[in-house]
C-alpha cells in the first residue's frame, strides 16, 4: 500500500505491553498510515477519536500477566484494571480486536493485514 494523504489512518490502541509499537512499525513498513494511540494513559475515554481521528481502529488485547512479562512492568492488577477502564470506549468502537495473548508478533501482523486488505 502506498501511504499518502488520502489513505486511511489506522489507529492502534491497547494496554502497555500489548504490542502497539511492534504492529505499528510493521504496518508502516508496508505503507500504512498509523497512529499509536496512548489511550491507556488518558482519563478522557474519547481521546482516541479526538486526537487521532482514525478511519480504522485496531484494538490489541493483552492479559495482565503478559503485559507485565513483556514490558517487565512493576505494577499492580489495579493499574492494569484502570488501563482497561480507560480503554473501554476504544474497545467498544474498535473495528477489530486482536488477542495478542494467543498470537506472536508475526501472527498479529498477519491478522491485521488480512483485515485491512478487506477494507
pLDDT (tens digit, 0 to 9) for every residue of the chain, 119 residues total? 555 677 899 999 999 899 999 999 999 999 999 999 887 767 777 777 877 889 999 999 999 999 888 878 788 999 999 999 989 999 999 999 999 999 999 999 999 999 999 97
Name the pTM for this structure.
0.89
Structure confidence at residue 44 (pLDDT): 74
Query: Which CATH number does the domain 9-118 belong to among 3.40.1160.10, 3.40.50.300, 3.40.50.720, 2.60.40.10?
Result: 3.40.50.300
DSSP 10-75: EEEEESTTSSHHHHHHHHHHTT-EEEE--GGG-S-TTHIIIII--SEEEEEE--HHHHHHHHT---
> 103's torsion region: left (phi>0), alpha (psi -120 to 50) or beta?
beta
Amino acid at each position: 500500500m502506498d501511504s499518502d494523504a488520502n489513505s486511511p489512518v489506522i489507529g492502534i490502541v491497547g494496554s502497555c505491553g500489548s504490542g502497539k509499537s511492534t504492529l505499528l512499525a510493521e504496518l508502516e513498513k508496508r505503507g500504512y498510515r498509523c497512529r499509536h494511540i496512548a489511550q491507556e494513559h488518558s482519563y478522557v475515554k474519547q481521546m482516541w477519536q479526538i486526537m487521532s481521528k482514525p478511519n480504522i481502529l485496531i484494538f490489541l488485547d493483552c492479559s495482565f500477566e503478559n503485559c507485565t512479562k513483556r514490558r517487565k512492568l512493576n505494577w499492580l492488577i489495579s493499574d492494569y484494571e484502570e488501563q482497561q477502564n480507560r480503554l473501554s470506549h476504544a474497545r467498544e468502537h474498535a473495528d477489530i480486536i486482536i488477542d495478542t495473548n494467543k498470537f506472536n508478533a508475526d501472527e498479529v501482523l498477519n491478522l491485521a493485514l488480512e483485515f485491512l486488505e478487506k477494507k
